[in-house]
């Protein structure tokens, strides 16, 4: 069949229209998905800083005003607004090539690069700008970049003239202890971290080499990661203005933002492996297990908990639960007239530093078998599991003929009670485990028992406990710490 000229022209017109529609559709997607182009170094005339807006609430924000304020100073200013998912209500952002919306949550219909924030940045520096800030004084970013380029600090910051302007803090992050400790900054305005609203500028390569560069809250996550690396931030006296129409002006909006902010912060700290935050003045925040949740680690295999393989010690929330359980159990035993003493690794911790060994995961007490009947909870545990009025669980251990007191029904951190009885002047028992320290010993170590500080209280311990420990563990055990099963993992080999 031959086409007429009219049919050919019509087909060409339809094809051209389809191509135009396809191109327009492609352009509409560019602000959100297109990668940044060009060198990270930039030229003398091109901007060297990308504005990155991450910390804002979708339900109430001043992001359009923030973006416009920087574009008024430089219409070619690169701006990236980053969100996990498409903000709703939609942000009224200029539809120009220099302003991009980056959606960080992976989606089936987008390439992997679209979810990576570094895809959208082609400049040498990145300025993390919080919602509620605006640019008014010209040259602020240039001045910050000059200070950063001069060296000394890996980050440079400028406060925002808000109700919560930034202040300098010292920050020590111990992954081994699952802890972040904040305090006064001795060398302000150069410090480890900031608390409050600030514009923070750093090199793009530094930001995107962090494991969680844009985790929220941005300030919390950023400074935990940079302080761990030994990077410092210099706080300049170069304040950014507050938004003319600031966000979160209603009580309901502030309440919602604070609630969601607390939830994000708790989730971030748990994800980064921080279980305890210590603030100046002694205030503590806990982000680990408690009486209503399972403990932070699973079943222990080979006497070596999983966290030791991660080069960490017992989470502080678990140590807190063990201390609380030990204090409570000792109080019950003393009130009932049950003779007890610190055993095994618990006695070793008390002898070393008056506390639980930092990598231990339970507490061991020896008791006289003949005294078991004096204690109501132990009598009850003979017949089955007993939950007392404080929520502690008393039971017979499934591994053998001894007792176990768990922190709660949900949290199985525990104190083990080992019943011993004398036979010809030697303390023995009916259940033995494959532990080096699980051996008989002369009863004279228990006559008399002596007080010994342990886990925040005073417990009973064998007399001459050094000889007692060396009988069980070997010479020099107090001065030479070691993991419970060095054949699997040694303390020296893990450091």
- The mean pLDDT of the chain is 92
pLDDT tens sequence across 316-349: 999 999 999 999 999 999 999 999 999 999 999 9
Contact 388, 394 (CB under 8 A): yes
My answer on whether 321 and 458 are in the same domain is yes
Question: Quick check: pTM over 0.85?
Answer: yes
Q: Report the CATH number that the domain containing residue 159 is assigned in CATH.
A: 3.90.550
Average pLDDT over residues 370-388: 96
Q: What is the residue whose two structure tokens read 């992001």?
A: 63
Does 295 fall in a domain? Answer: no
Give the model's pLDDT for residue 280. Answer: 87
| Any domain includes 205 | yes
Would you say residue 50 has pLDDT above 90?
Answer: yes
Share of the chain above pLDDT 70, in %: 90
Mean pLDDT of the region 410-427: 97
241 with 318, same domain: the answer is no
Residue 298 resides in a domain: no
Question: Mean pLDDT across the stretch 36-64?
Answer: 79
Report pLDDT digits (tens) over 467-488. 999 999 999 999 999 999 999 9
Same domain, 243 and 312: no
pLDDT score recorded for residue 33: 52
State residue 310's pLDDT score.
Answer: 96
Residue 263 has pLDDT above 70, yes or no: yes
pLDDT (0 to 100) of residue 23: 42
Whether residue 28 is predicted with pLDDT greater than 90 in this model: the reply is no
Is residue 83, in this structure, part of any structural domain at all? yes
In a domain, 63, yes or no: yes
Number of separate domains in the chain: 2
pLDDT in tens, 220-261: 999 999 999 999 999 999 999 999 999 999 999 999 999 999
pLDDT tier at 27, thresholds 50, 70, 90: very low
Which of 227, 247, 267 is at the close of a domain? Answer: 247
Q: Are residues 312 and 203 in the same domain?
A: no
Compute the average pLDDT of residues 57-86.
98
Banded model confidence at residue 73, pLDDT cuts 50, 70, 90: very high
Within a domain: 9: no
Which CATH number characterizes residue 443's domain? Answer: 3.30.460
pLDDT digits (tens, 9 = 90+) for 277-329: 999 889 999 999 999 999 999 999 999 999 999 999 999 999 999 999 999 99
| pLDDT for the residue 29 | 41
Q: What mean pLDDT do residues 53-70 have?
A: 98
Same domain, residue pair 164 and 240: yes
Task: Give the range of the structural domain holding residue 157, as residue numbers without chain letter.
Answer: 30-168+194-212+235-247
Is 345 in the same domain as 198? no
Are 465 and 316 found together in one domain? yes
Shared domain for 343 and 473, answered yes or no, is: yes
> Is the domain of 478 the same as that of 333?
yes
Q: Are residues 82 and 153 in the same domain?
A: yes
pLDDT value of residue 25:
42
Of 46-50, 438-442, 449-453, give the range with the top mean pLDDT: 449-453
Q: What is the mean pLDDT of residues 148-177?
A: 95
Residue 45 binned pLDDT confidence (cut-offs 50, 70, 90)? very low
What tens digit of pLDDT does each residue of 190-201 get?
Answer: 999 999 999 999
| Any domain includes 10 | no
Q: In terms of domains, do 350 and 490 share one?
A: yes
Flag whether pLDDT at 43 surpasses 50.
no
pLDDT of residue 42 exceeding 70: no
Residue 118 scores a pLDDT above 80 = yes
What does the pLDDT look like over 210-228, one tens digit per residue? 999 999 999 999 999 999 9
17: pLDDT strictly greater than 80: no
pLDDT at 432 (0 to 100): 77
Residues 243 and 385 in one domain: no
Instruction: Please state the rounded mean pLDDT for residues 371-378.
Output: 97
- pLDDT the model gives residue 8: 58
In a domain, 489, yes or no: yes
Residue 32 has pLDDT above 50, yes or no: no
Dump pLDDT digits (tens) for 74-103: 999 999 999 999 999 999 999 999 999 999
């Amino acid at each position: 069949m031959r086409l007429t000229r009219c049919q050919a022209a019509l087909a060409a017109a339809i094809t051209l229209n389809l191509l135009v529609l396809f191109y327009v559709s492609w352009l509409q997607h560019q602000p959100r998905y297109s990668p940044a182009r060009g060198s990270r170094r930039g030229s003398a005339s091109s901007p060297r800083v990308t504005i990155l807006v991450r910390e804002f609430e979708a339900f109430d924000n001043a992001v359009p005003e923030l973006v416009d304020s920087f574009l008024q100073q430089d219409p070619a200013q690169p701006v990236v607004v980053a969100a996990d998912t498409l903000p709703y209500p939609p942000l009224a952002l200029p539809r120009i090539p220099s302003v991009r919306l980056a959606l960080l949550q992976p989606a089936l219909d987008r390439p992997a690069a679209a979810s990576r924030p570094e895809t959208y940045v082609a400049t040498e520096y990145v300025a993390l700008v919080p919602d509620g800030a605006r640019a008014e004084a010209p040259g602020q970013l240039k001045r910050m970049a000059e200070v950063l380029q001069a060296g000394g600090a890996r980050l440079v910051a400028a406060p925002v003239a808000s109700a919560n302007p930034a202040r300098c803090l010292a920050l020590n992050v111990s992954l081994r202890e699952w802890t972040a400790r904040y305090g006064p900054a001795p060398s302000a305005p150069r410090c480890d971290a900031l608390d409050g609203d600030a514009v923070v500028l750093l090199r793009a390569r530094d930001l995107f080499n962090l494991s969680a560069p844009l985790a929220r809250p941005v300030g919390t996550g950023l400074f935990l990661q940079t302080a761990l690396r030994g990077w410092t931030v210099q706080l300049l006296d170069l304040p950014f203005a507050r938004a003319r129409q600031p966000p979160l002006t209603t009580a309901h909006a502030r309440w919602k933002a604070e609630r969601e902010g607390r939830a994000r912060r708790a989730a971030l700290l748990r994800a980064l492996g921080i279980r305890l935050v210590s603030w100046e003045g002694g205030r503590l925040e806990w982000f680990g297990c408690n009486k209503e949740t399972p403990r932070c680690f699973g079943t222990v295999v080979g006497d070596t908990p999983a966290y030791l393989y991660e080069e960490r010690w017992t989470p502080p929330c678990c140590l807190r639960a063990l201390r609380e359980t030990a204090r409570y159990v000792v109080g019950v035993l003393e009130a009932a007239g049950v003779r007890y003493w610190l055993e095994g690794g618990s006695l070793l911790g008390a002898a070393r530093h008056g506390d639980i060994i930092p990598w231990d995961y339970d507490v061991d007490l020896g008791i006289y078998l003949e005294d078991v009947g004096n204690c109501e909870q132990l009598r009850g545990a003979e017949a089955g599991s007993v939950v007392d009025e404080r929520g502690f669980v008393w039971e017979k251990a499934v591994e053998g003929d001894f007792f176990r007191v768990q922190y709660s029904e949900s949290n199985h951190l525990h104190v083990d009670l080992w019943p011993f009885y004398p036979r010809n002047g030697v303390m023995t028992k009916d259940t033995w485990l494959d532990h080096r320290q699980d051996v008989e010993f002369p009863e004279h170590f228990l006559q008399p028992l002596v007080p010994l500080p342990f886990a925040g209280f005073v417990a009973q311990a064998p007399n001459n406990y050094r000889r007692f420990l060396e009988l069980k563990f070997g010479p020099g055990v107090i001065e030479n710490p070691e993991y419970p099963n060095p054949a699997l993992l040694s303390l020296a080999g893990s450091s």
